Structure 1
Amino acid sequence: MTIAYDVAGSGPTVLLIHSTVCDRRMWDPQVPALVGAGYRAVRADLRGFGETPMPDRPYDNARDMLDVLDDAGADRAAVVAASGGGRVGQELAARWPARVSALMLVNTAVDGHEPGEELRAFDEREEALLEAGDVDAATALNVATWLGPHADEATRAWVARMQRHAFEVQLADSAEVERVRVAYDVSAVTAPTLLVSGAHDLPDFTRIAAGLAARLPHARHVPLDWAGHLPSLERPEAFNALLLDFLRGGDG
């Protein structure tokens, strides 16, 4: 397989899909908690992130994650997915609902979302910095935008390393390879779903969570008053308690 992933622990499988600000290392604080609670943690790098190379042909992120589950010998898994990875988690759970036992979406993106003013301004600023070749400033912009007030300096440095690495990998590859787009309906998701949003995140992600909670058949929305965009890194202990509580109730 070209998708880099790792496995820790034994028991029911939990697939962790990272934010597109980070890579699979963002789940470092969650893996020991999952293993200690009797779960098997599987975490993978999407294409162009972490140790997974850029694609050399049309690719399908959701199919990639299904292939990871197959390669890891998991017939069924709970899926925990953040931000841009949340869109992959939704697609995986909608296209192959029998394979997903529970779905936790953390400040998730969603297909077809019209960005609000702040998110649009961020996208434009990031694009301008990268076009100017200022990867340092683009990295700093991401760290400032996506981490909430509880993130310490070590966490900010960690996110900066992951984000900068992704920029370097993606900017080094000039080939334009399209993502395969498969029509799916999120209402086909059968797994119990927890939608988490952060009060210190851009407002788009609270709106997305509320909208998906209304569309998904078995969903609830939990806003976190302390969180930014990456609560699993900002306050891992609080996030882990929420995660394990959900998995136990969601039959993960």
Structure 2
Amino acid sequence: MTISYDVAGDGPALLLLHAGVCDRRMWDPQWEALVAAGFRVVRCDLRGFGQSPLPTEPYSNSGDVLGLLDSLGIDRFFLAGCSYGGKVALEVAASSPERVEALILLSAALPWREPSAELRAVGEREDALVEAGDLAGAAQLMVDRWLGPDADDKAGRAVHEMQLRAYELQLAEGVVGPVKVQVDPAAVTMPCLAVSGAHDVADFRHTEADLPAARNVELPWAAHLASMERPDEVTELIVGFLREQTRA
């Protein structure tokens, strides 16, 4: 398989897509609980993260994800994505809505939204550190900006490690990133839980205008990576929404 993944459990399929400062390890706090809740849980490293190197030819994240699910014999599935993984989840949901039972977005990057000046400034600071060869400093910038005050040191170390691994893969010679995919928000009509953090930048805080079919929940304590800041609370939110959908 092109991308690395884990799969465990029985029951309805649930795919987890990670944030752009993380890899599939970000779901460690949720993994066992979601399996115990009665789901067949799949998590993967998108290309350029974790154990999935970038290629030298163009590729599609949504194509990779659907190809992985096809290889596992999964036709319909629940889908959860955080940040960059939320963007990929929206690409999958819009391109194959008949396969997605329901969608969970955690501080998702909305493909149709132009980045704010605040978000661009963070990216510029990161780029400057990377260009100067200070990858540890760039990774620490990501930890400081995207984890909220409730995150513990273990979460900070995990994000730092995952981000350094992403730099290693993404700075390799001759590699390319994914093709840009146009997403029509009107195609995202399945049940959707859109979670955002009150301490996050506006780019990742959703409103009814973004996805009219979504149930929007803003966590007053959270920044960008709520599932790593208060893992148990977010796990309960995810499981509660999924159980609502499986009872429907």
Give the TM-score band, short-chain normalised: over 0.9
Matched with 1:200 is: 199
CA deviations on 1:194-224 (whole Å, 9 max, x unpaired) are 1110011122211xx11xx334352111000
Separation in 2, partners of 1:69, 1:27 = 18
Separation in 2, partners of 1:178, 1:220 = 32
SS in 2 for 1:41: strand
Matched with 1:221 is: 216
CA contact (8 A) 1:26 1:233 kept: yes
CA deviations on 1:91-124 (whole Å, 9 max, x unpaired) are 1001000110010011010224222232121011
Separation in 1, partners of 2:183, 2:165 = 31
Question: Does 2:236 correspond to 1:237?
Answer: no
Amino acid at match of 1:26: M
Structure 1: runs of 5+ lacking an equivalent: none
Amino acid at match of 1:143: V
Give 1:70 deviation, angstroms.
0.8
**Structure 2 counterpart of 1:246, from 222, 241, 247:** 241
CA contact (8 A) 1:15 1:78 kept: yes
TM score, norm. by length of structure 2: 0.95
Give 1:227 deviation, angstroms.
0.8
Separation in 2, partners of 1:170, 1:32 = 30
Matched with 1:75 is: 75
SS in 2 for 1:162: helix
SS in 2 for 1:16: strand
Separation in 2, partners of 1:106, 1:233 = 11
Separation in 2, partners of 1:29, 1:183 = 32
CA contact (8 A) 1:187 1:215 kept: no
TM score, norm. by length of structure 1: 0.94
Structure 2: runs of 5+ lacking an equivalent: none
CA contact (8 A) 1:13 1:76 kept: yes
Separation in 1, partners of 2:181, 2:67 = 16
Question: Does 2:162 correspond to 1:156?
Answer: no
* Residues 76-115 of structure 1: pairs in structure 2 closer than 5 A: 76-115=76-115
Amino acid at match of 1:146: W
Percent identity over the alignment is: 53
Judging changes above 3 Å, is the alpha-carbon distance between structure 1 residues 26 and 178 closer, same or farther for their aligned structure 2 residues? closer
CA deviations on 1:116-153 (whole Å, 9 max, x unpaired) are 23212101100111111110110010000000011001
CA contact (8 A) 1:189 1:217 kept: no
CA RMSD of aligned residues (A): 1.4
